[in-house]
Every structure is written in C-alpha cells, then in structure tokens.
C-alpha cells in the first residue's frame, strides 16, 4: 500500500477493486484512502476523507457507495459520516450520527438501511443504536441494546435479524448475545455464549449458523444456531487469538488470519471446515499482524492488508489462494 495503516477498513467494491480507508500509522490517524486493483495487482491513491479516523466502520450500500461512520481522529471521538462514490473517487459529508462512537459495529439491513450499534464515545461505552436511511441521508435513533458494548460483532442472519455478540462494557468482557428485529425495531436477548469475548470475529456460514472465533478470553470456537438460539462448541483453533480476521471462502470454509496471542503477534492462519467441524492449518502469512483487514475477492482469493506488527503499522499486503 502507499500508506502503512492499522485499525483501518477494507471494502470490496462492485467492480472488484478493494477500497482501503483511514486507520492509524502509530504517529497519527489517517484520512487517506487507496484502491487495490486485482486485475493489475497494483495500488492507487483515491480521494481522501474529510475527517481522519480509525476504529470506524465502512459499509457498502445497495447503490455501491461506501458509508463510513464514526471513529477517532486522535483527539476527538467522531459522530461524522461520509460517503465514497467509486464512480468519481470523491467523498461527500452526510448527516452526523446522534452519538459519537469508536469500535462500534455496522450492518446493512435487507431494506438497505444501516444499523450502527454500541461503541465508545470517549466517556462511556454505549448501548445506543441508530439507523441510516440512504434514501434520505438521515439518521434516526432506534431501540437501544440491552447491554452497552464495544469491540463486538454484528451479523445479518438468514432470517434478516441482526445478531450482536460479545464485546466489552467498560468493566468486563461479555458473553451476552442479543437479536435486533428490523420489522419491530426492537432488541431481545438470546442465549449467552459459552465464553465471554471481545475483539472477536463472527462469520455467517452457508447453512445460516454463525461461527464465532477468538477474542480476548475466547478460548474455544462456538456455533450459534438461529433456529434454536443455542450455542455449541466448534473445536479449538491451534492458537488462541484476538484482533484477528475471519473470512468465509467460496468453499464454505472459514479462513482465520493473524491476531494477537497474549502479547505475541501471529502470522499463523487456520481453516475451519463446517462439513467436518474441524480445524486445519492454513499456512503462514509473510508478516505477523493484528488489527489488519481480510477481503475475499471476486476471484475467491483473500487480500490481507496492513495491521500492526507490534511496533509499527504495516503497509504490506498479501494474497491467500484457497
């Protein structure tokens, strides 16, 4: 990449390119963005955001534009949001969220709206949630979660409900999970995970179950079944890790890359096979990294970008070929 960065985002565009946004380079937060073109294997600079930010979210809307929300600019926790237009390479400021938030989660609902949950506003961890409507460009407050949390995940289930898992409430790591129903705009608690965890990953498998891996205090992998709302164990990875990435491959397997094991940075990758319920080795990345991104390309390959090696942000990127 042109810039070293961690705690950034990476979004797969409709045309197959990958947009990498913001992040931190240890010295400062970034407003720069760049594009990876898989057809040429090259990076190019595109328009910069209006605000520097890391710990933000980025969602691809139905029209192909990318909505970036919140984050931290190094001084201020942000409620600002902006849109990237891939056809022009330019950013447009849109309405601000009602709450500033960092290390929150965001999901695209079936109706095209964006649900943003939780995060840290600089003073407290939030239980608030809000909705962005692309047709109006406005944010509205929706029902608050039952639990304040940051460093959690938010997954769209096959029944179109949203499963929010784990996180940190400012005092303790959470095992609590809850469901958001977009039709009623209400939350309800579901069964707790077997392990509390934050900075975890959650992957919706082809059968609709959700695979949860790693996270602080997350020693085992677990599966959530939306039809029964029950959790079952899904075996152990060879290395406990947090701040990693999990990618659902075309084969249905899940590739887990990098992360932190206690204070050790990892380059080890592992594969989970839902058909057998087992974990196998997935090779080693060229660089150990955490707080990186992993994007499944249209070719099925996985692009890993940036992250931290423990002392500095990385500008390296690498490809995994299943």
220: confidence class by pLDDT, cuts 50, 70, 90: confident
Average confidence (pLDDT) over 89-115: 98
Residues 194 and 160: their CA atoms lie apart, in Å, by 24
Whether the pLDDT of residue 123 is over 90: the answer is: yes
Residue 224, pLDDT score:
99
| CB within 8 Å of 233: residues ≥ 6 apart | 194, 220, 221, 222, 223
| 257 domain residue, yes or no | yes
Residues 223 and 213: their CA atoms lie apart, in Å, by 9
Residue 27, pLDDT score:
77
| 27 domain residue, yes or no | no
| 248 domain residue, yes or no | yes
Q: What is the pLDDT of residues 17-27, one digit of tens each?
A: 999 999 999 87
Average confidence (pLDDT) over 201-223: 93
pLDDT > 70: percent of the chain:
99
Residue 263, pLDDT score:
87
Where does residue 272 rank: exposed (0-12), middle (13-18), buried (19+ CB within 10 A)? buried
Residue written as token pair 């990098």: 258
Residue 79, pLDDT score:
99
Q: What is the pLDDT of residues 147-204, one digit of tens each?
A: 999 999 999 999 999 999 999 999 999 999 999 999 999 999 999 999 999 999 999 9
CATH of residue 289's domain is 2.120.10.80
Residue 32, pLDDT score:
98
Cα 192 to chain centroid, rounded? 21
pLDDT > 90: percent of the chain:
95
| 163 domain residue, yes or no | no
Handedness of CA 234, 238, 244, 249 (dihedral sign): negative
| 168 domain residue, yes or no | no
Split into its structural domains, the chain has a count of 1
Beta-bridge partners for 295: 303
Q: What is the pLDDT of residues 247-305, one digit of tens each?
A: 999 999 999 999 999 889 999 999 999 999 999 999 999 999 999 999 999 999 999 99
Long-range contacts of 236-239 (CB under 8 A, 24+ apart): 236/279, 237/213, 237/270, 237/279, 238/268, 238/270, 238/279, 238/281, 239/266, 239/268, 239/270
Average confidence (pLDDT) over 228-249: 95
218: confidence class by pLDDT, cuts 50, 70, 90: low
| Residue 306, both tokens | 């940036």
Q: What is the pLDDT of residues 3-17, one digit of tens each?
A: 999 999 999 999 999
| 96 domain residue, yes or no | no
| Residue 166, both tokens | 């784990």
Beta-bridge partners for 219: none
| 10 domain residue, yes or no | no
| Residue 104, both tokens | 């929150």
| 6 domain residue, yes or no | no
Strands 138-142 and 129-133: antiparallel
Strands 210-213 and 317-320: unpaired
> Residue 272 belongs to what domain range?
205-321
**Mean pLDDT (the chain, rounded):** 97
């Amino acid at each position: 990449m042109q810039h070293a960065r961690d705690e950034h985002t990476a979004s797969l565009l409709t045309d197959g390119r990958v947009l990498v946004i913001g992040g931190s380079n240890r010295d400062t937060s970034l407003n720069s963005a760049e594009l990876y073109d898989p057809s040429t294997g090259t990076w190019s600079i595109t328009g910069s955001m209006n605000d520097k930010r890391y710990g933000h979210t980025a969602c691809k809307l139905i029209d192909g534009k990318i909505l970036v929300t919140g984050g931290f600019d190094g001084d201020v926790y942000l409620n600002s949001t902006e849109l990237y237009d891939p056809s022009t390479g330019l950013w447009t400021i849109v309405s601000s969220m009602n709450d500033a938030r960092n290390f929150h989660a965001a999901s695209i609902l079936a109706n095209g709206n964006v649900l943003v949950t939780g995060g840290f506003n600089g003073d407290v961890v939030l239980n608030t949630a809000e909705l962005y409507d692309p047709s109006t460009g406005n944010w509205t407050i929706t029902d608050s979660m039952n639990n304040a949390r940051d460093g959690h995940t938010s997954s769209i289930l096959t029944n179109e409900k949203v499963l929010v898992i784990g996180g940190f409430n400012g005092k303790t790591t959470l095992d609590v999970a809850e469901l958001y129903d977009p039709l009623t705009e209400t939350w309800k608690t579901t069964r707790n995970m077997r392990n509390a965890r934050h900075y975890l990953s959650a992957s919706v498998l082809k059968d609709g179950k959700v695979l949860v891996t790693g996270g602080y205090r997350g020693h085992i992998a677990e599966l959530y079944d939306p039809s029964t709302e029950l959790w079952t164990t899904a075996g152990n990875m060879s290395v406990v890790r947090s701040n990693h990435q999990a990618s659902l491959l075309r084969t249905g397997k899940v590739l887990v890359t990098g992360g932190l094991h206690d204070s050790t940075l990892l380059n080890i990758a592992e594969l989970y096979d839902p058909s057998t319920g087992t974990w196998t080795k997935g090779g080693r990345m060229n660089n150990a990294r955490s707080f990186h991104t992993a994007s499944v390309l249209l070719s099925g390959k996985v692009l890993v970008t940036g992250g931290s090696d423990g002392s500095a942000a990385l500008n390296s990127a690498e490809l995994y070929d299943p």
